[in-house]
Amino acid sequence: MKRIIMLLITLTCFISMVSVTNAKDKEELYKEIVHTVAKQLMQQYGIPGAAIAVVDGNQTYTYFFGTADVTSGKAVTENTIFEVGSVTKLFTALLCAEADDSGSLKLDDKLIKYCPQFAANKTLSQISFTNLLTHTAGFPLNMTINNLSAWQSEKQIGSQWQYSNVGCGLAAIALENQNNKSINDLIRENILSLLAMTPLGLEISEKYQDDFAQGYTGDGKAAVHYLHAQGPFPGAWGLKATIYDMTKFVSAAIGLPNTPENIKKAMRNTQTPRVSVGSMQQGLAWQVHSLQDENLQHEPENMNLEPLPVNWLPKDKQRYHADVLLDKTGATSGFRSYIAVIPSEQLGVVILMNKYIPNGAIVNAGRIIVGLKKQPEKD
């Protein structure tokens, strides 16, 4: 981690001395730093393969490294499919925001309105979609659906933040109940098709199976290979995607002009902060950071999963701001992903890797790349 931080400082100093005067200069600068960051990260953590993309306005720069499968030696390409882990939460939150905008579901609605099977649990009856999507419902990181009926929060609902797969997972179940469709079909129909993404979702059909990368655990062992999301709450972690797909999502996240209006509106809803947790603000799955936050370049190696106190923003302060850093990490047992955008600069980055590594390592690497955005000097 120290080497990553030193690399970040060195590259930041280098960037500050460079004036990006034309598209060719910018392309060379992205290539230089993305390759440097990727080489350092992959060597340090023994990562077999990676795909990294930078979206800068109407230009997309994509880079491929290493192998999708150590045994076969198959190279990573634009068609390589990765598990994106908790980046899935952004998609589930976007579906909820679309429903909120259309009026078919409101973020203030209680979960049990759409999941009456939990109505007898007085704690669950207090939880809203906003709680589910901002990690303020009181759930632990993971639990089984069978344990939900008897579950009781130790604190008042909405009084603390604790990162959890349960909240977004339950939001996905509620969407399934409301629409009588699987979360996989909802994501495909309402996001993937509208953004011209590969129709993968949470499942990989036979047509695409040859492109599915082999994932590797932190100690380098081949991870279990699931073509379909296995386990509880897949709406929180089960999505598969290519780097090409994720550039389409990044473009929508920074609000490029060709983004469908319903997705652009819903995306801004998800990117609107609701609560403050230390120096970070929490939107609907997105984490929101001030660009002046000195902690941005020094993300801890591991995410703090302990309960933290929250301060709810007044309704008039819950507003979308473009001049911020919005990001989200994801992981499964054999993959790690990161997405970050600065809408005001129409800039975004996404990193997909086929090995599980510490959260802070990929975050710091991604933020180095995001820091590339510099305004050209005036003549």
Q: Is residue 256 part of a domain?
A: yes
Q: Is residue 379 part of a domain?
A: no
> pLDDT at position 142, please?
93
Query: SS3 of 16, please?
Result: helix
> pLDDT at position 90, please?
98
Which pTM was predicted? 0.92
How far is CA 361 from its chain centroid?
15
Query: Could you read off the pLDDT of 334-377 as tens digits, one per residue?
Result: 999 999 999 999 999 999 999 999 999 999 999 999 884 333 23
Backbone angles phi, psi at 328, to 5 degrees: -160, 135
Contact 107, 129 (CB under 8 A): yes
For residue 304, pLDDT beyond 90: no
Tell me what the mean pLDDT of segment 281-287 comes to: 98
Contact 157, 137 (CB under 8 A): yes
DSSP class per residue in 297-326: G---SS---S-EE-EEPPGGG----SSEEE
Instruction: Show the DSSP H helices in the chain as ranges.
Output: 2-16, 23-45, 88-102, 129-133, 165-179, 183-187, 243-253, 261-270, 359-370
Please say whether the dihedral angle defined by the alpha carbons of residues 128, 129, 131 and 137, taken in this order, is positive or negative.
Answer: positive
Tell me what the mean pLDDT of segment 243-263 comes to: 97
Give dist(CA 285, CA 299) in Å, integer. 18
How far is CA 168 from its chain centroid?
12
Give dist(CA 79, CA 210) in Å, integer. 10
Q: At what angle do helices 23-45 and 2-16 cross, to 10 degrees?
A: 170
Work out the pLDDT band at 9, boundaries 50, 70, 90: very low
Average pLDDT, the chain: 90
> pLDDT at position 238, please?
96
For 71, residues 6+ apart whose C-beta sits below 8 A from its C-beta are 214
In the chain, the number of structural domains is 1
Please say whether the dihedral angle defined by the alpha carbons of residues 357, 362, 133 and 122, taken in this order, is positive or negative.
Answer: positive
CA angle 227, 228, 229 (to 5 degrees): 125
Q: Is residue 49 part of a domain?
A: yes
Contact 343, 255 (CB under 8 A): yes
Encoding tokens for residue 40?
A: 């350092």
For residue 18, pLDDT beyond 50: no
- The domain that contains 298 carries what CATH number? 3.40.710.10
- Amino acid identity at 111: L
Domain housing 192: 2-370
Query: Could you read off the pLDDT of 83-141 as tens digits, one per residue?
Result: 999 999 999 999 999 999 999 999 999 999 999 988 888 899 999 999 999 999 999 99
Query: Could you read off the pLDDT of 185-214 as tens digits, one per residue?
Result: 999 999 999 999 999 999 999 999 999 999
Contact 291, 324 (CB under 8 A): yes
Question: Which residue in this structure is represented by tokens 């710091």?
Answer: 364
What is the Cα gyration radius of the chain? 20
For residue 303, pLDDT beyond 80: no
Give dist(CA 353, CA 288) in Å, integer. 23
Question: Which residue in this structure is represented by tokens 């919005």?
Answer: 326
Q: Is residue 132 part of a domain?
A: yes
Give dist(CA 271, CA 289) in Å, integer. 11
Residue with more model confidence, 15 or 181: 181
> pLDDT at position 22, please?
65
User: 79-96: buried (b, 16+ CB within 10 Å) or exposed (e) per residue?
Assistant: ebbbbbbbbbbbbbbbbb
Query: SS3 of 323, please?
Result: coil
For residue 151, pLDDT beyond 80: yes
Lowest mean pLDDT across 76-85, 232-241, 280-289, 292-301: 292-301
Q: Please report how many Cα atoms fall inside a 13 Å half-sphere around the Cα of residue 164, on the Cβ side.
A: 24
Q: Is residue 274 part of a domain?
A: yes
Work out the pLDDT band at 25, boundaries 50, 70, 90: confident
Give dist(CA 3, CA 8) in Å, integer. 9
> pLDDT at position 250, please?
98
Q: Is residue 213 part of a domain?
A: yes
Give dist(CA 97, CA 259) in Å, integer. 16
